[in-house]
Amino acid sequence: MARKNNKQSFQQNSRQVREPAVAGSFYPGNKAKLKSMVDEYLDKADLPEINGSVKALIVPHAGYEYSGQIAAYAYKSIGFSINSRPIKTIVLIGNSHQEYFDGISVWNVGYFKTPLGEIAIDEDFADKLINANPKIIFKNSAHLKEHSLEVQLPFLQKVLSDFKIVPIILGNHGGVDILIDALKNLINDNTLIIASSDLSHYPNYKDAQYSDNKVIQAILSDKRENLQKTISDLEKQGIPDLQTCACGQDAIEVVMGLTGGSDVKLLKSANSGDITGDKNRVVGYASITFINNDSKLNEAEQKILLNLVKRAVETYVRNNKIIEIEETNVNLNKHQGVFVTLKKDNDLRGCIGVFKSEETLYQNVIDMAIAAATQDPRFNPISKDELNNLEYEISVLSPLRKVDSWKEIEIGKHGVEIKQGMRRGVFLPQVASENNWDLNTFMNVLCTQKAGLPADCWKNPETKIYVFTAQVFCFNHGHLSVR
């Protein structure tokens, strides 16, 4: 009841606006100068293609002259992903730098203002969050002077339109699991989560690089326990002048707790010594993105691709012609890897695929179907007499993710690519299930039969191991089957 009355009294002014606290210090207070600075940072951010949709970011929050260019990489990635979706609500999470308090404060009414204009609060989302747990409250003073969320807003105003925000400040007394539990029931495909955090504070340049690299690698593992252990270990090492490894550790952990299974990528990192030249006392920065690769093709889309495979193979084998179509479905126009597998009487008859391509998914399906039918070196080309007896299987792939150890491989879930020198080999995830192989057998056969390497090469530190997942579906005796 107290929380409800608190909000009611605060809403007496329906135009409640949180005025900018650090405009003119952390970033320009002049609208034209601010717009020009952000535009320049975004222009200079050189990103690769993002294979999926960005669902969360870790972004620094220092003054723009120090970390603005690093932050730009994160914000540019929002619109640079190949499967971007409309973002309606942005959940901004930071640790308090100004006030220590017990609980989590959510600003739940009105607007946040920058020199570029006002941004509305998603009041419905914020109210539901506050009602989710007594530890989640509205505390006006926790937000009024806090810079960590405010500095994110001008970038958001430049790269997005028609969005609302939910500003959240953690009170430095825990609350990570409480916030994760509350948010996981509210976020959806139109929600973007942003953790605001710098990295190491005040060691010398080399020590900052050492600490920041350890923390970044822990974040890239997408495992909270790795981050917690890494920071604990760093704190025990007695690194001179290291006051914190990540001032927004709690905010980072919330993101990691909400985005398990994501493809996590470091976009850019640096420290203040790279900007100022003073390497005696620095602060570290990184932009990291969490990419959703779990968007599955629906049954109608699967049928479109399976029909394309069948048409492509039959047209090429019968008439030596490549079918030409124009597919408008958004999901089928993603730039996504795929393997096409042909079987006859349950025996493999051809299998070829591609992980990276400038072609669209549907065009890759056509190309790989023809290649599987005619170019697999293990088999003779498919003949016209075989066409009526073929079964078609498609495996739509997630991007490859390098792992530090074979121990990260999940048998039956992960496909694996190994590389050693010029030799490489790939097994799709379903190979293990189809053959009832355990991890040892799966990897031994991959090394010997696919890569031409010793059976135990996968345990050699010089062997690079990449994992991926696949959405697998097929035509089996005229029926669509999903694995």
Element (H, E) at 130: helix 123-130
Q: Which sign does the torsion angle of CA 155, 159, 162, 165 carry?
A: negative
Sequence-distant contacts of 355-359: CB under 8 A, at least 24 apart? 355/397, 355/399, 355/400, 355/417, 355/468, 359/335
Sequence-distant contacts of 371-377: CB under 8 A, at least 24 apart? 371/340, 372/313, 372/340, 372/341, 372/342, 373/313, 373/316, 373/317, 373/342, 374/316, 374/317, 376/350, 376/351, 376/352
HSE-CB at 73 with a 13 A cutoff on CA atoms is 22
- What is the longest distance spanned by two Cα atoms in the chain? 80
Residue 341 token pair: 């597998």
Kindly provide the b/e burial profile for residues 377-403, where b requires at least 16 CB atoms within 10 angstroms of the residue's own CB: eebeebeeebeeebbbbbbbbbbbbeb
The Cα–Cα gap between 278 and 291 comes to 35
Residues 84, 192: contact at Cβ < 8 Å? no
Tell me how far the alpha carbon of residue 293 is from its chain's centroid.
8
89-95/164-170 β-pairing: parallel
Beta-carbon contacts of residue 442 (< 8 Å; ≥ 6 apart): 411, 416, 427, 431, 432
The full set of domain ranges for the chain reads 2-292, 299-482
CATH number of 299-482: 3.30.700.20
The Cα–Cα gap between 370 and 313 comes to 5
The Cα–Cα gap between 120 and 138 comes to 16
Q: What pLDDT, on a 0 to 100 scale, did the predictor assign at position 398? A: 84
Mean pLDDT across the chain, nearest whole number?
Answer: 91
Q: What pLDDT, on a 0 to 100 scale, did the predictor assign at position 68? A: 98
Q: What pLDDT, on a 0 to 100 scale, did the predictor assign at position 81? A: 61
The Cα–Cα gap between 168 and 123 comes to 13
How is domain 2-292 classified at the architecture level of CATH?
A: 3-Layer(aba) Sandwich (3.40)
- Residue ranges, the chain, pLDDT below 70: 1-14, 49, 51, 80-85, 261, 293-295, 475-483
Q: What pLDDT, on a 0 to 100 scale, did the predictor assign at position 402? A: 82
Residues 425, 450: contact at Cβ < 8 Å? yes
Q: What pLDDT, on a 0 to 100 scale, did the predictor assign at position 120? A: 97
CA 461-466-469 angle, 5° bins: 150
pLDDT tens for residues 156-183?
999 998 999 999 999 977 799 999 999 9
Q: What pLDDT, on a 0 to 100 scale, did the predictor assign at position 92? A: 98
